[in-house]
């Protein structure tokens, strides 16, 4: 009788330990979902350069003042899953059927894209600058890391072709998560109107990027925390981290791709740009900016950055773009 009580006590202890472990793992998955995927303030993404306010010795003064003053419209579309998505539209200085669609980064909005918007405006493009789902003025309560957003961008592309006609020429540009977004778009079946895609400092896969951040911020291994957060993301947001894989998407691209990355990028490690560059089977180019940190490629060398982008676009647009 004593032995039976002892065995039963061990069984209950084991059940208690397993329940405690399961609760801890469930909490961990939910916690990291909240930190990485849910819509809330992301303190760890704050940049040195505030892209909305102008301050002394600001390297983006001219771009910000232009962005705040330029004529623009607000456009909306409905996503496949019923979200209202918002975008700024800035017409070109001269009438044209060329459109640059510009994708912002993680936890940002189109308000952060003044420098890159001015760059493509100076090249003669109309500009469409969407707020990603869950960002800015767009509906949504989670970050899709460029995966669900790729489908949203297909809708924006169709919208611009409908507006500017069957002869319109579109390019895509994305920064950081926006870079991952446009790489994901590149792997879809695109209309021939999409002539070129440019990404700057996008990650090669969500799993690899989050594993990098897990180690950098928390000193924790990928397993079991990334799979747990991925499971919660599937339940709450409808996708696994493993699905959001730009490296796989660029393998299917038929559209010319230009990969840009900072040589000293420690937020999205520089080695990731080589992964996506080598994976792409389409016409492609690569520019690793010497000494540049994450998303600092343009400000590190404005003249060279503009020159490289113009040279790339000149190869694939029907006529030479306007000079800067």
Whether 78 is covered by a domain: the verdict is yes
Contact 255, 285 (CB under 8 A): no
pLDDT of 69: 96
Whether 59 is covered by a domain: the verdict is no
Cα–Cα dist 257/283, whole Å: 6
153-to-108, 133, 199, 214 alpha-carbon distances in Å: 17, 11, 14, 29
Q: Which band of pLDDT confidence, cut at 50, 70 and 90, is reported for residue 24? A: low
Write the CATH number for 160. Answer: 3.40.50.1820
Number of H helices, E strands in the chain: 11, 8
102-to-44, 159, 197, 268 alpha-carbon distances in Å: 23, 14, 10, 19
When pLDDT is averaged across residues 168-197 and rounded to a whole number, the result is 98
Cα–Cα dist 258/195, whole Å: 12
* Nearest of 219, 158, 149, 154 to residue 179 by alpha carbon: 149
When pLDDT is averaged across residues 120-130 and rounded to a whole number, the result is 98
Which residues neighbour 319 within 8 Å (Cβ) at sequence distance 6 or greater?
Answer: none
Whether 5 is covered by a domain: the verdict is no
Structure tokens that stand for 25 in this block: 């793992």
Contact 108, 89 (CB under 8 A): no
In percent, how much of the chain has pLDDT > 70?
87
Whether 232 is covered by a domain: the verdict is no
Whether 113 is covered by a domain: the verdict is yes
State the total domains in the chain: 1
Whether 219 is covered by a domain: the verdict is no
Range of the domain at 286: 72-205+244-316
Whether 54 is covered by a domain: the verdict is no
pLDDT of 20: 39
**In whole numbers, what is the pLDDT of the chain averaged over residues?**
89
Cα–Cα dist 294/269, whole Å: 9
Return phi, psi of residue 201, to 5°: 60, 35
When pLDDT is averaged across residues 158-183 and rounded to a whole number, the result is 98
Whether 250 is covered by a domain: the verdict is yes
Q: Choose the weakest-confidence range: 34-38, 118-122, 297-301.
A: 34-38
pLDDT of 124: 97
Q: Is the pLDDT at 320 greater than 60, yes or no?
A: no
Q: Is the pLDDT at 45 greater than 60, yes or no?
A: no
Q: Is the pLDDT at 21 greater than 70, yes or no?
A: no
Q: Is the pLDDT at 127 greater than 80, yes or no?
A: yes
When pLDDT is averaged across residues 266-295 and rounded to a whole number, the result is 98
């Amino acid at each position: 009788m004593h032995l039976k009580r002892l065995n039963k006590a061990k069984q209950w202890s084991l059940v208690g330990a397993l329940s405690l472990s399961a609760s801890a793992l469930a909490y961990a998955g939910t916690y990291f979902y909240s930190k990485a995927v849910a819509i809330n303030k992301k303190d760890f993404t704050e940049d040195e350069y505030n892209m909305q306010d102008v301050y002394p010795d600001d390297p983006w003064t001219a771009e910000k003042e232009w962005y705040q003053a330029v004529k623009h419209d607000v456009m909306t579309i409905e996503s496949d899953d019923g979200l209202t998505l918002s975008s700024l539209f800035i017409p070109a200085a001269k009438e044209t059927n060329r459109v640059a669609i510009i994708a912002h980064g993680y936890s940002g909005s189109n308000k952060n894209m003044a420098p890159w918007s001015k760059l493509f405006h100076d090249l003669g493009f109309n500009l469409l600058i969407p707020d990603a789902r869950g960002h800015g003025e767009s509906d949504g309560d989670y970050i899709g890391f460029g995966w669900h957003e790729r489908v949203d961008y297909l809708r924006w592309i169709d919208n611009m072709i409908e507006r500017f006609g069957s002869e319109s020429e579109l390019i895509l540009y994305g920064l950081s998560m926006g870079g991952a977004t446009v790489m994901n778009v590149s792997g879809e079946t695109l209309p021939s109107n999409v002539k070129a895609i440019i990404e700057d400092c996008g990650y090669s896969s969500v799993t690899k990027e989050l594993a990098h951040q897990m180690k950098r911020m928390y000193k924790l291994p990928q397993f079991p925390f990334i799979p747990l957060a991925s499971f919660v993301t599937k339940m709450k947001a409808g996708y696994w981290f493993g699905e959001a894989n730009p490296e796989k998407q660029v393998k299917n691209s038929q559209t010319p791709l230009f990969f840009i990355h900072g040589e000293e990028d420690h937020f999205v490690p520089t080695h990731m740009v080589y992964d996506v560059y080598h994976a792409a089977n389409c016409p492609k180019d690569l520019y690793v900016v010497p000494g540049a940190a994450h998303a600092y490629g343009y400000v590190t060398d404005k003249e060279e950055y503009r020159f490289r982008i113009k040279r790339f676009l000149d190869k694939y647009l029907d006529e030479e773009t306007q000079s800067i």
